[in-house]
Amino acid sequence: MAERFVNDFEQPYEQIEPFAWLRMQGVGGRLLGWEGQSYRFSELDFMARAHDGYGTNWPINYKRLVPYYEEAERYLRIVGTTDNIPQLPDSIYSKAAAQSLAEGLIREPAAKHLGIKVIPARLSQRSFAKREQRESDERGYTPLGAIEQGLRTGRLTLRTGAIVTELIVEGNQVRGVQIVEGESSISEAYANVVFLCASTLESTRLLLRCACLKSNKTLGRYLMDHVMGGGAFGYVDMPKAALAASKREPQRIYIPRFRNIDHRITNGFIRGYGIQGKVITDSPEECLAEKSSRVTKTIRLRVVLSAFGECLARYENSVALSATTDRWGRPNLAIGARWCKNEERLMQDAATQCTRLLEVCGVKDIQTTSMLSTPGLAIHEVGTARMGENPEESVVDPNCEAHAVRGLFVTDGACWVSSGCQNPTLTMLAITGMACEVVTRRFNLEKRRT
């Protein structure tokens, strides 16, 4: 998979503060490499300011997104369990997750000793397959499947390898995009509706180049990524038979946010974190040698817990155009983001909680991890063109349409107001579905009028 990532030497960006910008170019984008962890936001996330007084509420609520979550979930085929957790609403599952060895090990002691709820990770079904099978077997569940469906309608033109370099805007109406193909062949494509979903920072690069958005004070601001690094790992010796019995199940668990659900603040921090857990073997060859008489009947497994914490939306975390340009003549990006005390405290707390969790589960040789990730490393970057009712304080409206440019929709992570602590892709898809319906309704209305 490494070869799919953009080479930073070939496509550089400026790091005002250390920032890891992990990009995959080509049809399908980073969804061709994702793990499939899929969690809804809840009202607590959309209305976070109402809960703790920090930042800005989203201009849309959970209820508005529900039908689009459902549509995205049916498409992604999520495997999970009905858990009835208000801060992590259930999805529509294509299949119930069976109990894994990881869940069997952690669930009960976590509930009994710490009152912490452990659930199977909610995974898009395609992530169950081996990596090499993904593209061939699972097209129906990847973005490629959606594109293939579109192509079959005969109304979709796919320009593989084309790079959009600029938006074409007349007055306050989008008219299309300028494209570079190969190294230098420039052309234009025209449309009265343009959906920008080139990934958070790439979409914002195009917006920053747009003359009529230059005066917007929030464009490029409030960059977020999930903070990682708080966690713990240790070892258990398992009978090989138990491993063999459950090896078809993904050994992944999820611990939904449990901090600041009823409270506003805990241990000096607001918001919370979700914990992703897995049980892995450091010696897969020993697992394979199950029947060999030379090997023991138990196997040492590593139990890993890692937290993903909410990043506060802060004006000073930003992206801007740099003075240097790339090989297509586009200004490079200058990215400057750093964690604040809240993120540090979140991860300290996560490290303590993960360690306690492993202790109560009888895990041995526990090591606590608490070094914060470099911003960007979670690959969950969001913000920089946020949505809102007020054009003075946001870039797009609650339908994701730019306040200043009619017909221009920004539906990837760029339009996010806060980061939550859940993996973001499911919510990105739901928001895109919502904006698509807005456009469809507008066209149908216009058609009826003419």
Ligand X SMILES: Cc1cc2nc3c(=O)[nH]c(=O)nc-3n(C[C@H](O)[C@H](O)[C@H](O)COP(=O)(O)OP(=O)(O)OC[C@H]3O[C@@H](n4cnc5c(N)ncnc54)[C@H](O)[C@@H]3O)c2cc1C
Residue 138 CB neighbours (<10 A): 18
To the nearest whole angstrom, how small is the minimum distance from the Cβ of residue 218 to ligand X? 19
Stretch that binds ligand X, among 43-51, 191-199, 262-270, 440-448 (CB under 6 A): 191-199
Q: Does 309 bind ligand X (CB under 6 A)?
A: no
Cβ partners under 8 Å of residue 18, min gap 6: 374, 375
Residue pair 18/374 in contact by the 8 Å Cβ criterion: yes
Residue pair 308/423 in contact by the 8 Å Cβ criterion: yes
Complex with ligand X: residue 198 or 313, whichever CB lies closer: 198
Q: Does 204 bind ligand X (CB under 6 A)?
A: no
Among 109, 176, 424, 433, binds ligand X (CB under 6 A): 424
Stretch that binds ligand X, among 182-190, 241-249, 400-408, 422-430 (CB under 6 A): 422-430
The count of chain residues that interact with ligand X, using the rule CB under 6 A, is: 25
Complex with ligand X: residue 45 or 202, whichever CB lies closer: 202
The gap between the terminal CA atoms of the chain, to the nearest Å, is 50
Stretch that binds ligand X, among 12-20, 187-195, 198-206, 350-358 (CB under 6 A): 198-206
Listed in sequence order, the DSSP H helices in 215-314 are: 240-246, 284-288
Stretch that binds ligand X, among 24-32, 78-86, 350-358, 442-450 (CB under 6 A): 24-32
Q: Which residue has the tokens 């910008």?
A: 21
Helix H or strand E segment including 229: strand 227-239
9 alpha carbon, distance to own chain's centre: 25
Q: Does 29 bind ligand X (CB under 6 A)?
A: yes
**Contacting ligand X within 350-389 (CB under 6 A):** 379
Among 103, 202, 344, 349, binds ligand X (CB under 6 A): 202
To the nearest whole angstrom, how small is the minimum distance from the Cβ of residue 173 to ligand X? 21
Among 76, 88, 116, 164, binds ligand X (CB under 6 A): 164
3-state helix, strand, coil in the chain (%, to 5): 30, 25, 45
Phi then psi dihedrals of residue 238, to 5 deg? -115, 145
Complex with ligand X: residue 223 or 366, whichever CB lies closer: 223
How far apart, in whole angstroms, are the C-alpha atoms of residue 147 and residue 167?
23
Residues in the chain: 450
How far apart, in whole angstroms, are the C-alpha atoms of residue 450 and residue 448?
6
Complex with ligand X: residue 162 or 438, whichever CB lies closer: 162
Q: Does 276 bind ligand X (CB under 6 A)?
A: no
Residue nearest to ligand X (CB): 29
Q: Which residues pair with 369 in a beta bridge?
A: 231
Q: What residues make contact with ligand X under the rule CB under 6 A?
A: 22, 24-26, 29-31, 33-37, 163-164, 197-199, 202, 379, 412-413, 423-425, 428
